A and B are shown apart, each in its own frame.
Chain A
Amino acid sequence: MTLSAPELSRYHRHIALPELGRAGQERLKGARVVVIGAGGLGSPAALYLAAAGVGTIGLVDCDRVEISNLQRQVLFDSASVGRLKTEAARERLLALNPEITVIAHTLTLRADNVLDVLRDYDLVLDGTDRLTTRYVVNDACVLLGKPLVSAAIHRFEGHAMTYLPGRGPCYRCLFPEAEEGVVASCAEAGVLGVLPGVLGSIQATEAVKILTGIGEPIVGAS
């Protein structure tokens, strides 16, 4: 995947990194990453992936933007309220970087559609706010052999972990099961607005590390 002259300029600060270089940037251009949940985590993750030049970004969400989202979901602005998140986010990402492709998947992921949605992507970032969806996504990544970068937040606390097939434990290995409602949602418990910014940025960092082969992903010990 060769880079055009405008792309060489756009990504100059990446290309100037010897560890990443032109070859790494070309790998980003050729990559397909899907972000599950265009919310607090998905917002910074998708923005940084788009800015980094990930060639194809999929966004999965079925919700519309609410005014209470704007405290942390930096993909959206006041004019986005009431719009489908996938559509508003797609416009925002393409405004940031028109060189990339953004695919909107406006749907709820379930066991009967998840394999079809994830199959064509190289890497999955999970930032959903539903525990049941976390397990659906995790199990699909295990079945498909896809890398998964998962994160979750609650009040002032967050987790992030990377699953690489054959390299370490998956989300279900860590937490075998968790029923919906066992942990209060952010709507109930609150969340500091910058927290998903931190965790979503970690997810984007992990994606860039995995796609370019630089650094060491935060894979757990088996």
Chain B
Amino acid sequence: MSCTIRIPSPLRSYTAGAATVAAEGATVEEVLASLERRFAGIRFRMVDEQSRIRPHIRLYVNTTEVTVLSQPVRSGDVVHVICALSGG
């Protein structure tokens, strides 16, 4: 299943500046693994060693917040990655 991932500004160094990228997977975990295969290192910026979403990151599938990485993703869904920003 193909979905779209919206990449926050602080993580676009991994995606060569792309704000939106395509990924495959039936769950958030699979989508992040697909993303990692293309952009090595990006998953660890969102999820820690215990597969917990980092506290300065929020993930949403469309408008539903992701609380567990087993959350399903359907074809055509948009996965939003929201990152705390510090600039003022």
Which residues of A are in contact with B by a Cβ distance under 8 Å?
A: 37, 39-42, 127-131, 134, 151-159, 174-180, 182-186, 189, 191, 196
Contact = CB atoms under 8 A, between A and B. Distances in A.
A40 B84 contact: no
Contacts of B84: 131, 152, 175, 178, 182-183
A160 B87 CA distance: 12
Q: How large is the interface on B (under 10, 10 to 19, 20 to 34, 35 or more residues)?
A: 10 to 19
A151 B10 CA distance: 16
Contacts of A39: 88
A218 B20 CA distance: 25
Given A41-B88, A158-B85, A180-B86, 5 more contacts: A154-B86, A156-B9, A183-B85, A186-B88, A196-B88
Contacts of B87: 40, 129, 152-154, 185-186, 189, 191, 196
Contacts, number: 71
A85 to B, nearest CB: 12
A128 to B, nearest CB: 5
Contacts of A176: 55
Given A154-B9, A155-B9, A184-B10, A177 B56 contact: yes
Interface in B41-88: 55-56, 58, 82-88
Interface of B: 8-10, 55-56, 58, 82-88
A interface SS class: loop
Nearest to A186: B87
Contacts of A155: 9
Contacts of A153: 85, 87-88
B17 to A, nearest CB: 10
B88 A183 contact: no
B58 A152 contact: no
Contacts of B88: 37, 39-42, 127-130, 151-153, 186, 196
B56 A182 contact: yes
A128 B55 CA distance: 20
